[in-house]
Amino acid sequence: MDDLVTRTPRADARENRERILEAARAVFAAEGLGTPMRAIARRAEVGPATLYRHFPTKEALVTEAFAGQLRACRDIADEGLADPDAWRGLRVAIEKLFELHARDRGFTAAFMAAYPRAIDFAAERDRALRAITELTGRAKASGHLRRDFVPDDLLLVLMANNGIQAPSPKARVAASRRFAALAVQALRASPDAAPLPPAARLIP
C-alpha cells in the first residue's frame, strides 16, 4: 500500500505532462505558436499552475513538444530498419512519415523560425539522413526499390507532401495517405496495381 501511495502522484504527474504535450502539439499546429498558455491548459484539462510547474515558459513547452516530433521521426526510421523485410520497412516508414507531417501543419517550420537555436536540428537531420540512406539502400539491394532511386527522391516527395492544402485536418491526412500510396508505387522497381486509399476532397 505504501508503495502504491508513493507511486501514484508520480504517475499522475507523468499523465498530466503527456496530456499537456499532446494538447500543445495539437493547438500549436492548428493555431500557431502565438497561442496563449492558458489555451493549452484548457485543452489538456489541467490548471495553469500544473502547466507552469511542468513548463515554466512557453519556449520550454514548445521545445519539448517539438522534441517529441523528432523522437517520433526517429522511432519511425528505427522501426523501418528493424523490419526484416526491407521493402515493407521502407513502405511503412514512408506512410507513417507522410501522416506525421500531414498532422504537423507547419508546426516544425514555425518552431525553427521562432527558436532556431533551441535544438541541435542539424545533428537530428544528419541522423535521419543516415537512417534513410541505410533503409533505402537495403530496399534497393532487395530488388524492390527502383535502381535509379537516390535519397534526395524521398526528400522530394516529403517536401511535396508538406505542400498539401486541404479544407480540414481530416482531409489533409486523407490526401497525404493517398499521396503516400502513389509515391510508394512510383518508387517500386516493378509497380503493382494495388488499390489506392480513398481520394480526399481538397476543394471545399
**92 and 163 together in one domain:** yes
Question: Which residue(s) pair with 188 in the sheet?
Answer: 145
Q: pLDDT tens for the chain, 204 residues: list them.
A: 444 444 455 778 889 999 999 899 888 877 888 889 999 999 999 999 999 999 999 999 988 888 888 888 889 989 999 999 999 999 999 999 999 888 877 777 777 777 777 777 777 778 878 888 899 999 999 999 998 998 888 888 988 998 888 888 889 899 999 999 999 999 999 866 667 678 777 766
**44 and 90 together in one domain:** no
**12 and 113 together in one domain:** no
CATH code at 32? 1.10.10
CATH code at 129? 1.10.357.10
**93 and 176 together in one domain:** yes
Domain membership of residue 109 as a residue range: 64-204
List all residues 6 or more positions away from 172 whose beta carbon is below 8 Å from its beta carbon. Answer: 102, 105, 164, 165, 166, 200
**70 and 162 together in one domain:** yes
> What is the secondary structure of 88-127 as a DSSP string?
HHHHHHHHHHHHHHHHHTTHHHHHHHH-TTSS-HHHHHHH
Total domains in the fold of the chain: 2
**144 and 163 together in one domain:** yes
pTM for the structure as a whole: 0.75
**143 and 118 together in one domain:** yes
Query: For residues 173 and 105, is the Cβ–Cβ distance under 8 A?
Result: no
**52 and 36 together in one domain:** yes
**10 and 80 together in one domain:** no
